[in-house]
Structure 1
Amino acid sequence: MSRVRVGMLTTTQGGGGFGEQAPLFRALLRSARREGCIAYVFTPAGVDWDAGRVRGWVASPGGRWRCRSFPMPDVIYDRIVCREDLRRPAVDGALSRLKAMYRGRYFNPCLLDKWEVYQALASDASLDEHLPETRLLTTPDVARDMAGRHPVMFIKPRRGTQGRRIVRLDRRTSDPMGSYRVRSQICREQTVPTLDRAMAIAAPGTEDLIQQGIEGPSIRGGRPFDLRALLHRDGRAGSRAESGWRLTCIVARVGRRGAITSNLHTGGTAVRARTLLREVYRARPSQAQAALTRLRRLALTVPPALERSFGHFGELALDLLLDGQGNPWLLEVNSRPGRRALVLAGEGRARALAGRRIFRHARSLVEGDDR
């Protein structure tokens, strides 16, 4: 059988390059060669529909990008991360055409909307108890209703990324309408006398969400942390179970002191999950392994539930949190994750495994192991 061609679909960034994704694409091209695949990066504008060919980009041994003409791919792995590009008519039209052509050989078909994800997963009985209550912030009454149940709340854009525009509200008294501490990534901390005043500072838009805050343990002088789980379909030949979802790695992301999130783009870093959990539960070492087991179990429950609503994925990243009792919570799902957390955490083997699993899955879509 001929080598499977995998096209990694993206859009160019400023200056015509691939922006923050360039190192990831270089690593994935190396993984493709090791897995016996032909891979290239391409854009919607590079498709020649009449000729059935595409302008694809590959990296030279020295790391420079070279453009070549390739046959259309056998499988498409969608890595478009810019929502503004998706709204362009030319891009939207090309994607619709490609998805219709490739159907089951097109994976990771969309950037996820936090509100739509919450609605889909909350309908699954096995996941509902692991989701912080989340509401679309359509009127001030929504915030008042949430405040009656949750002393800590987060306001975030439903389609936001990289921790931008997130605001944390901490109730200061027993009165849900009373005093709040307001914190964000870009504004100084303020304490205000009423919830309505706090909401005025947060200035949410009609497309924002308000979410229950989960109070969990912190480390190293009050630094927040969460856990990023990276999952892949692994299409190695064998039993049907062999080509299902697998947990590739869990790393811990640790925020700056005083930060409200642990996102890497807002100054956070990453460490190995086991190392961090041993620190969190240093007085009870057995709890670290128990917490990790619960996180893994929850992580593997999410992809099948998500695919029932959003289609075929080969890779997902989950942002997880532990509460004070060690129970796991699912905060967000990322359908086109990077690898920076794995690099910072020193998880080189997991990073390599992630690449291998991407192309094993792509091969299986052509060779039939996932059918």
Structure 2
Amino acid sequence: MAQTPLGTVSISTWPGSDQAILSLPGEWHPHLRLGTRDRITIRAGNRRITAEAVFTDEQEVQLTDRIRKSLYLPRGTVSVKAQDGELCFGPCIGLYALPSRDPKKPFGELTAVFRDQMEIARREGVLLYVFSPGDADWDSGFTTAYVWQNNSWQRTKRPLPDLVLPKIMGTPPLWREKMRRDQAQMSRRVPYGTFSLAVGSKWEVHQTLEKRADTRDLLPDTRLVRSPLDIEDLLRRHTAVYVKPSYGTQGRSIYRLEQDPRGIRVQYTAGGQTQNRRMNRGSSVWQSFLTKKFCGRRPFLVQQALELVKAQGTRPVDFRWLIQKDGQNRWVITARVARVGPRASITTNLHTGGNAVLAETFLTQNGYPKEANRRELLQRFDQAAVRIAEALEQKAGRIGEIGIDFGLTQGERIYLIEVNPRPGRQMLKDTSPQTRSLSLRRNLEFAKLVTGFGKGVDTSEDA
């Protein structure tokens, strides 16, 4: 596949014509396969039309309405590439998300993120839209979609995507059949697939990292729960353990088990509060609890509880590193955040009452007043994040971003807690809106690179 990025241009309408005619910058002519009459095939997503090209000295593109309507192409700034002699507008990037019942937040908590990313996409020359399970008409070659324009969400039609950014966690039963049909079609009709390939379950991630010497030392003692004996054995070795779903997010269904002279203390979160139970080790109640809760169809992991640094002596703390691919296919650290859980909580997740602060700010206020010490520790976190990202990328293939949760012990040893393949942006909204915007822009830069629209010379006046 021969393709050449041609940059980002502003598209305007050539009024008063129902013919397929467009004007193009003259410098593009050598990159296109043209006959004696300068007829060219134009594409946006999977939509194609053959048109007559007129080359000018202007650094813009003018299209007739016939071309625009055929391609479902909006007005505004767009990226361009030459591919096998065709002229391609795009990239068409689809955010695949579930709708909500709230008309003010049509995509729930993700609504503000999608809105802000679409504003950035216009400046970056990316045709970004949201579509939901069942929206795409795969046979006819288009999808109905939501776009943010003129300060409101509007329903429109767009070409099928060049690349999909999945934003649905799991497979909700209500949407299972539509998602199954969409996923089957995506594998055939979305040329660049998904933004990030699946890194696997928490257990699969653990196994991948355990095989490498440069990441093995970051891992706590961890087992896949196959029977109550796996939990019992780790609990004897470490006094306290966490048991959590191998597939799970937002701190749900996590249990902390700790042995003390009076038995086993069981902690978990329910209704936003930390709940406590106590059981006698070896009792039928204890054995039934382990079997029914952790040995069913849903796989769980058991992991040693670490003696991590705390805020104010009682509030649990972990660290979220957001590492992303940029427009040159390099791993870059975008955000470093400390997450502080409620007093005596077993998790730090924002959904269970935690709050976020920049990692450097937390370290400054909690035992690291010297800049040199902070810089050395943050660099160690950065190096660990890059090693993890590279290991998972080598195993899974393309990965655009991951959120990595670290723990820091009192002895300054860094441990991996877990990897989040679809990190949210709420903690960045709370700590650094500028970093949040950067994280959204880097997604788009990497998407342009993946789809062949990146690394071009920008020819738009307002870029």
Match of 1:244 in 2: 330
Give the superposition deviation at 1:319: 0.9
Cα–Cα, structure 1 residues 228 and 199, in superposed 2: closer, same or farther, change >3 Å?
Answer: farther
**Contact kept? 1:56, 1:68, Cα under 8 Å:** yes
Which of 86, 92, 100 matches 2:180? Answer: 92
Give the superposition deviation at 1:200: 4.9
**Contact kept? 2:148, 2:154, Cα under 8 Å:** yes
Residues 1:179 and 2:268 are matched in the alignment: no
Cα–Cα, structure 1 residues 51 and 188, in superposed 2: closer, same or farther, change >3 Å?
Answer: closer
**Contact kept? 2:115, 2:148, Cα under 8 Å:** yes
Residues 1:47 and 2:136 are matched in the alignment: yes
Please give the residue correspondences for 1:18-57 in structure 2 after superposition, counting only pairs within 5 Å: 18-57=107-146
Q: Which moved further from structure 2: 221-230 or 205-214? A: 205-214
Give the superposition deviation at 1:100: 3.5
**Contact kept? 2:199, 2:392, Cα under 8 Å:** no
Match of 1:226 in 2: 318
Higher CA-based Rg: 2
- 2:114 alignment partner AA: F
Match of 1:334 in 2: 420
Q: Which moved further from structure 2: 215-224 or 306-315? A: 306-315
Alpha-carbon deviations, 1:331-361, whole Å to 9, x = none?
A: 111111110011112x111111111111111
Match of 2:92 in 1: 5
**Contact kept? 2:162, 2:191, Cα under 8 Å:** no
- 1:263 alignment partner AA: N
Identical aligned residues as a percent: 32
Residues 1:280 and 2:366 are matched in the alignment: yes
Match of 2:442 in 1: 357
- 2:376 alignment partner AA: A
SS, match of residue 188 in structure 1 = strand
**Contact kept? 2:94, 2:165, Cα under 8 Å:** yes
Give the superposition deviation at 1:74: 2.2
Q: Which moved further from structure 2: 160-169 or 15-24? A: 15-24
Cα–Cα, structure 1 residues 355 and 21, in superposed 2: closer, same or farther, change >3 Å?
Answer: same
- 1:33 alignment partner AA: R
Give the superposition deviation at 1:109: 3.8
Structure with the bigger percentage of strand: 2
Distance in 2 between residues matched to 1:333 and 1:320, nearest whole Å: 9
Please give the residue correspondences for 1:188-337 in structure 2 after superposition, counting only pairs within 5 Å: 188-194=275-281, 200-201=288-289, 203-206=293-296, 207-235=299-327, 242-282=328-368, 286-337=372-423
SS, match of residue 88 in structure 1 = helix
SS, match of residue 139 in structure 2 = coil
Distance in 1 between residues matched to 2:199 and 2:208, nearest whole Å: 15
Segments of 5+ residues of structure 1 without an aligned counterpart are 236-241
Q: Which moved further from structure 2: 4-13 or 98-107? A: 98-107
Structure with the bigger percentage of helix: 1
Give the superposition deviation at 1:284: 6.4
Alpha-carbon deviations, 1:159-194, whole Å to 9, x = none?
A: 121111111122325xxxx83322111263234442
Distance in 1 between residues matched to 2:178 and 2:148, nearest whole Å: 26
Please give the residue correspondences for 1:111-190 in structure 2 after superposition, counting only pairs within 5 Å: 112-172=200-260, 179-186=263-270, 188-190=275-277
Distance in 1 between residues matched to 2:357 and 2:111, nearest whole Å: 23
Count of aligned pairs between the two proteins: 358
**Contact kept? 2:196, 2:398, Cα under 8 Å:** yes
Give the superposition deviation at 1:143: 1.3
